[in-house]
């Protein structure tokens, strides 16, 4: 069974685990409900999960290789209880080695980070998707240059994992402008979101369009810096030539946000 690949919105900090006071209390309810159903929507339960988070960048693609990754609370100004969250999923040094092998065979330089913990792009959505924390999780960094072609190519290199029971997840946000969460940006976010959805659905031209994503409508207003979009490139690259679809869409904090699924299954 070949698993699909996913790009998921991971919300705003620990938004799913607090009383949300920066807008309507139900702002993140639809996103939370979708994330809670991720595993049930798969053709089979994955043996492991590889997550590319928008919150980790390194000079080369770097793989978390700890058997027991610690927590990395890389958000600020949230309620005290959100710094006591626990996500105790095991790591997988074996999968980390396999990821490096695939990337290096394809010509990418790699490194291992044995001390790296789960950042909130990993533990916040996976606490909803896998609350029992019973699936091994390995995190892969972005490459700090954020080059779309390189991340698409990395995804292509990692595609064999899908036949090995590994779910490849890009964790970011389809709109990520810290000054652009307001009604003034709603229409712009919807225009970018609609364009991106069309790109995802067209496997014939998807790679080319994603390489030039900044030519989309309001692209640089959606992503002044594209670290929260780059995980999408890896997820898309790992399903090159296969169908893509909008798996989730909502308006939260006044902007359109989407999640995507790729693959024939």
- Each residue's pLDDT tens digit, 225-241: 999 999 999 999 999 99
Neighbour tally for 64: CB within 10 Å? 30
Structure pTM?
0.97
What would the mean pLDDT of 216-227 be, rounded to a whole number? 98
Query: What is the arithmetic mean of pLDDT over 142-168?
Result: 98
pLDDT value, residue 264: 73
Q: What pLDDT, on the 0 to 100 scale, is given for residue 234? A: 98
pLDDT at 126 > cutoff 70: yes
In the structure encoding, which two tokens stand for residue 198, read together?
Answer: 């069309």
| pLDDT confidence of residue 22 | 87
Residue 41, pLDDT above cutoff 80: yes
Q: What is the mean pLDDT of residues 241-251?
A: 96
CATH of the structural domain 5-262, one choice from 3.20.20.120, 3.40.830.10, 3.40.50.12780, 3.40.50.300: 3.40.830.10
Looking at residue 170, its pLDDT comes to 98
Is it the case that residue 210 has pLDDT exceeding 90? yes
Residue 159: C-alpha distances to residues 170, 217, 234, 248, 264 (Å): 13, 30, 10, 23, 13
For 254: left if phi > 0, alpha if psi spans -120 to 50, otherwise beta; the answer is left
Q: Two tokens at 99?
A: 């990821």
**Residue 133: is it exposed, middle or buried by C-beta count within 10 angstroms (0-12/13-18/19+)?**
middle
- Whether residue 190 has pLDDT greater than 80: yes
pLDDT in the model for residue 213: 98
- Following CA atoms 139, 145, 148, 150 in sequence, which dihedral angle do they give, to the nearest 10 degrees? -70
Express each pLDDT in 64-98 by its tens digit. 999 999 999 999 999 999 999 999 999 999 999 99
State what percent of residues in the chain have pLDDT above 70: 100
- For tokens 């995507």, the residue is 260
- Confidence bin at 218 (pLDDT 50/70/90): very high
Give the pLDDT score at 215: 97
Over range 42-71, report the average pLDDT: 97
How many residues in total does the chain contain? Answer: 265
**Token representation of residue 154:** 């990395």
pLDDT of residue 265: 54
Please state the rounded mean pLDDT for residues 21-29.
94
- CA 140/CA 80 separation, integer angstroms: 28
Residue 178 pLDDT = 87
The pLDDT of 44-71, averaged and rounded, is 98
**Residue 225 exposure: Cα atoms within 13 Å on the Cβ side:** 9
What is the percentage of the chain residues whose pLDDT exceeds 90?
97
Q: Averaged over 100-126, what is the pLDDT?
A: 98
């Amino acid at each position: 069974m070949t698993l699909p690949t996913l790009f998921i919105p991971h919300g705003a900090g620990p938004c799913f685990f607090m009383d949300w006071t920066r807008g309507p209390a139900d702002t993140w309810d639809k996103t939370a409900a979708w994330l809670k159903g991720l595993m049930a929507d798969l053709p089979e339960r994955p043996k492991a999960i590889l997550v590319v988070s928008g919150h980790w960048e390194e000079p080369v693609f770097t793989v978390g290789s700890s058997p027991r990754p610690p927590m990395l609370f890389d958000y600020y100004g949230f309620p005290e209880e959100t710094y006591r969250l626990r996500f105790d999923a095991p790591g997988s040094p074996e999968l980390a080695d396999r990821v490096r092998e695939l990337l290096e065979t394809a010509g990418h330089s790699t490194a291992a980070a044995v001390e790296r913990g789960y950042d909130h792009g990993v533990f916040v959505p996976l606490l909803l998707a896998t609350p029992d924390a019973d699936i091994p999780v390995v995190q892969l960094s972005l490459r700090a240059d954020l080059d779309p072609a390189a991340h698409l190519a990395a995804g292509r290199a990692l595609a064999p994992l899908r036949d090995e029971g590994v779910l490849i997840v890009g964790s970011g946000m389809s709109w990520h402008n810290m000054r652009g969460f307001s009604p003034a940006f709603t229409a712009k976010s919807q225009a970018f979101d609609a364009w991106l959805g069309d790109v995802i659905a067209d496997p014939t031209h998807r790679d080319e369009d994603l390489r030039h994503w900044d030519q989309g409508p309001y692209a640089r207003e959606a992503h002044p810096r594209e670290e929260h979009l780059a995980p999408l490139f890896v997820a898309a690259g790992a399903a090159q030539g296969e169908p893509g679809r909008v798996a989730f869409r909502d308006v939260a904090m006044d902007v359109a946000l989407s999640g995507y699924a790729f693959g024939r299954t």
